A and B are shown apart, each in its own frame.
Chain A
Amino acid sequence: MPADATTTLALPKSLTGISGFDDITLGGLPTGRPTLVCGSAGCGKTLFATTFLVNGAIHFDEPGVFISFEERAGDLAKNVASLGFDLDNLIAERKLAIDHVHVERAEIEENGEYDLEGLFIRIGFAVDQIGARRVVLDTIETLFSGFTDHGILRAELRRLFGWLKDRGLTTIITGERGEGQLTRQGLEEYVSDCVILLDNRVTEQITTRRLRVVKYRGSAHGTNEYPFLIDHDGITVLPVTSSGRDIRVSSDIVSTGVPDLDRMLRKGGFYRGSSILLSGVAGTGKTTFATHFAHATCSRGERCLYFALEESSGEIIRNAQSVGLDLRQHIDAGLLRFEAARPNLYGLEMHLARMHRDLDRFKPEVVVLDPLSAYRGPDNEVHATLLRMLDLLKARGITGVFTSLTRDEEKRDTSENGMASLMDAWIRLMDVDANGERTRTLYVIKSRGMSHSNQVREYRITDEGIVLNDAYIGPDGVLTGTARLTQEAREKAAALRRQESIERRRREIVRKRETIERQIAELQAAIKAEEDESAMLIAEDNAHEDVLLRDNAARAARRGAAE
């Protein structure tokens, strides 16, 4: 809430305390001036005005006066009691005063000149009694049915609005929507400072409330039609676009909760604050992936808000249990919250408004929306809603996980493609059936700001969660499931055969080497034998020579002696 807006802007403003409204008006209603709130019956004018007064009295120390031209004080208190407003208590504390102005034409006869000084005195009296700063006139147009002289009435209303302004009272004047103009009696002519139009439209049996700031003199304001919500928490106005808001960009990485999938991403997960789309046909495990993500978030001690649009929280918890994820503990720890709502319960705007409120209240780090495709409607509306939803998350730095049901694998929905361009990351889950078997595969279509594996991976949903297998990629394309196993067996056999032939060759070599080595040894042995032989012969010859010499010498000696 831009509490500082009132001080930074030249035009002083009074906060209404209505969530979202103070944002689009950059600080609330013009202080000390009248504001016209108009709309058809049942669109929340009185509630808007009452909320303005009650919040003023409780939160901003500005007592208020409610001049009711339609409902009695008791009825008024009863009507808003369901929103937790205790008007009786506020009256007792002198923070609120209610005056019921009853106009009954049948009782009134006009005779001569008159004015509405009595009304002025009543308002003035109520204001003075409690020192009011805020006033609501609901619905002043009732006076037109009470007085015949509309000339006097108009002059008096003009004087009244001037008088309220002079007294510096921040005033809401409600008016019934008229044909061709904002109010039946053209009150917008008199209240020129700020005009707010409330609207209640029904399309295809679904009601959407919208609010528009028609004019706001001297101030910038959001010009769109903003959806708003009335429920047990009062009024919530949803700013359509987060214009002018800085989007927090983070380079933190959050895990998908599936380790194998994390490994397919360069950074080991997705960027915090990014939006992730999980698309796939029925039964591909989109919700299972989403619960993995939720589980991982809560396991880090962060908060996760899970919008379950088709399944109840009980079913999701049970199903998560079957893949080994205990979500109950996170709920008990206050980290995980389920918001279940059938998509056709409200219009898209209402969903958005609710989401907005839930986000601001629970302040999650991760939001899961399961499934996005539950939102039906014209493509452009769904697209616009989604865009704003993403804005909503991005502005808060919340990581969004969206599942989307693809209706036909072949003809991809245009809506899916439209959505996908808005997403930062997109994982497609597929069903491949071949050889009478269905297997699940996934691939990362995109992941902005980081590289990722381009492989198609087979995954299995096991008791211990999701496990990715390396898909077989070979000459015959990608094989999965049994086909992959068969092919793998075939490959294994071939490898075995190759291995065997190598072994065989190796053994042959060894044998050859042994043979040759044996031959070498034989030859060496032969030559050794020959060498030995010849050495022996040489020695024999030498010995023979010696003997011969010795004999000759002996013979000579003997011959010498005898001669």
Chain B
Amino acid sequence: MSDLFPDDDYYRLRLYIAGQTTKSLAAVSNLKRVCDAYLPGRYEIDVIDLAQNPQLAAGDQILAIPTLVRRLPEPLKRIIGDLSNLEKVLVGLDIRQKSEPP
């Protein structure tokens, strides 16, 4: 998987969590729900648990947990919080309403 993936429609997402907290678990399930619904087959999610890999926090300038980082498509975007507002997630990730939710 290259960083220079040409397709604007392909989403590379990273979700930073710290341990299996309520907020973290909520963020993971909320994100999966949105992606499955709106980006079927054109997304990948790395869930990074900083409790296990603390050295990865500095690289993406992570402060808040959970933090979702959209690596692709450019530009880089961050959303912090448990992603409980699905509408805002769509807007925040710039997901075009190509297909209606099932």
The size bracket of the interface on B is: 20 to 34
Give bound CA distance, A146 to B61, whole Å: 12
B51 to chain A: which residues have CB within 8 Å?
121
Please, how many angstroms separate the alpha-carbon atoms of A117 and B21 in the complex?
A: 11
Number of interface residues of A (CB under 8 A): 24
Cα distance, A173 to B58, chains bound together (Å)? 20
Q: Within the assembled complex, what's the spacing in Å between the Cα atoms of A113 and B61? A: 19
Could you tell me if A118 and B79 are in contact, using CB atoms closer than 8 angstroms?
A: no
Residue of A nearest to B91 (CB): A109
Contact B63 A143 (CB under 8 A): yes
Q: Is A528 interfacial (CB-CB < 8 Å)?
A: no
Q: A112-B85, A113-B84, A118-B64 are in contact. Are A125 and B55 (CB under 8 A)?
A: yes
Q: Please pick, from B30, B65, B77, the residue contacting A115 in the complex, using a CB distance under 8 A.
A: B65
Provide the residues of chain A in CB contact with B66, threshold 8 Å.
114
B45 interface hit (Cβ, 8 Å): no
A349 to B3, CA, bound (A): 59
Residues of chain A lying within 8 A (CB to CB) of residue B89: 111
Inter-subunit contact B61/A101 (CB<8 Å): yes
Contact status B58-A99, CB under 8 Å: yes
Task: Say whether A108 contacts B78, CB under 8 Å.
Answer: yes
CA distance A109 to B58 in the complex (A): 19
Contact A110 B80 (CB under 8 A): yes
Residues of B within 8 A of A118 (CB): 16, 18, 50, 57, 62-65, 67
Query: From DSSP, what is the main secondary structure of chain A's interface residues?
Result: mixed
Q: B50's closest neighbor in chain A, by CB?
A: A121
Tell me how far the C-beta of A62 lies from the nearest C-beta in chain B, rounded to whole angstroms: 22
Partner of A114, one of B50, B55, B57, B82: B82
A108-B80, A118-B63 given; A113·B23 CB < 8 A = yes
A220 within 8 A of B: no
Docked complex: B56-96 residues within 8 A CB-CB of A: 57-58, 61-67, 76-85, 88-89, 92
CB contacts (< 8 Å) of B41 on chain A: these are none
Q: List, in ascending order, chain A residues with CB within 8 A of B6's CB.
A: none
Q: Does B102 contact A (CB under 8 A)?
A: no
Contact A117 to B18, CB < 8 A, known contacts A111-B89, A122-B57, A122-B62: yes
Tell me the minimal C-beta distance from B14 to chain A in angstroms: 13
Answer whether residue B54 sits at the interface, using C-beta atoms and an 8 A cutoff.
Answer: yes
Given contact pairs A110-B79, A113-B81, A118-B62, enumerate 17 new A-B contacts (beta carbons under 8 Å): A101-B61, A103-B63, A109-B88, A111-B79, A111-B80, A111-B81, A111-B88, A111-B89, A112-B30, A113-B26, A114-B67, A114-B82, A116-B64, A117-B18, A118-B18, A119-B64, A121-B54
A-B contact pairs, 24 of them (CB 8 A): A102-B61, A108-B78, A108-B79, A109-B80, A109-B88, A110-B80, A111-B79, A111-B88, A111-B89, A111-B92, A112-B82, A112-B85, A113-B81, A114-B23, A114-B64, A114-B80, A115-B64, A116-B63, A116-B64, A117-B18, A118-B65, A122-B58, A143-B63, A147-B64
Q: Which 4 A-B pairs have the closest CB atoms?
A: A112-B81, A112-B84, A125-B54, A117-B65
Interface residues of B (CB under 8 A from A): 16, 18, 23, 26-27, 30, 50-51, 54-55, 57-58, 61-67, 76-85, 88-89, 92
**What is A's interface to B at a CB cutoff of 8 Å?**
99, 101-103, 107-119, 121-122, 124-125, 143, 146-147
